[in-house]
Amino acid sequence: MASPSDLQEIEKCVKNSLVSDVDQISSPRLPQSKSYLKIVGIPYISERSNVQISPDEVEGILKANHVFNDIILASKPRIIKISPKSDMAIIWIDIWDTQNGSNARKIINRHFNVGSFIATVRGANMNPGVPQCKDCWKWGHMAGVCCIQGAKCVKCNGPHLSINHRHFAWCCKANDKLNPPRLETKKGEPCPHSFKCLNCKGDHQANSIECPFWKHYFNKEWHSK
């Protein structure tokens, strides 16, 4: 395992061998493990702003609480509702430490105040969330195990990437034979037409929380925790 002096030597060599701005080069460090934790007991609607609590607001709450002293987040917090009809949230956080490490052990099962609420930190499994494929946009599996070739559009289910919807989708192309004729969607403008969910055939995008499939897999995932 590299010592602090080894890391300093590595940093010196890297900065001497590059002609780019050396101040923009991060200091070298040894590989670290992540712990996947969740925080329960926090309202989904912020008491301060009266809108959905944001990852930045969660980070501010953690930084202001002594329970999280010396805790370094490995990524932005992720926020979901406990259930579609609930007003409480689950906050998923990743920290740089193993779950058996000293930093993780000192905050797991700890309670802390968030306004008038008492929140609790729990251990969690890796990769929480509702599984939806980003290739075919069907619920229940991830892109890594998807069987289709290429990708489909989340808006119209066409054989193109979602970012290219306006360029390839039939609904955005001009059609003089319709009554009234359909005009082409102008370049740079979002598609103004109704979308069709490939999962439930509803009038929304395939990744919308309005979809009954989203609610089904959300509740299935939550009750399995």
Span 93-118, pLDDT tens digits: 989 887 678 888 899 999 999 988 99
CATH number of 34-123, picked from 3.10.20.520, 3.30.70.330, 3.40.120.10, 3.40.50.720: 3.30.70.330
> What is the residue extent of each domain of the chain?
34-123, 130-225
The DSSP-derived string for 12-24 is HHHHHH--S-GGG
Q: What is the pTM of this model?
A: 0.50
pLDDT in tens, 13-53: 777 765 555 565 666 666 667 788 999 999 999 887 888 89
What are the pLDDT digits (tens) for 166-183? 788 888 888 888 888 888
pLDDT band at 145 (very low <50, low <70, confident <90, very high): confident
Residue 136 CB contacts under 8 Å (≥ 6 apart), including other chains: 146, 148, 151, 152, 198
Cβ-based burial of 96 (10 A; exposed 0-12, middle 13-18, buried ≥19): middle
H or E element, residue 113: strand 111-114
Q: What is the pLDDT of residue 128?
A: 47
Structure tokens at 209: 């929380």
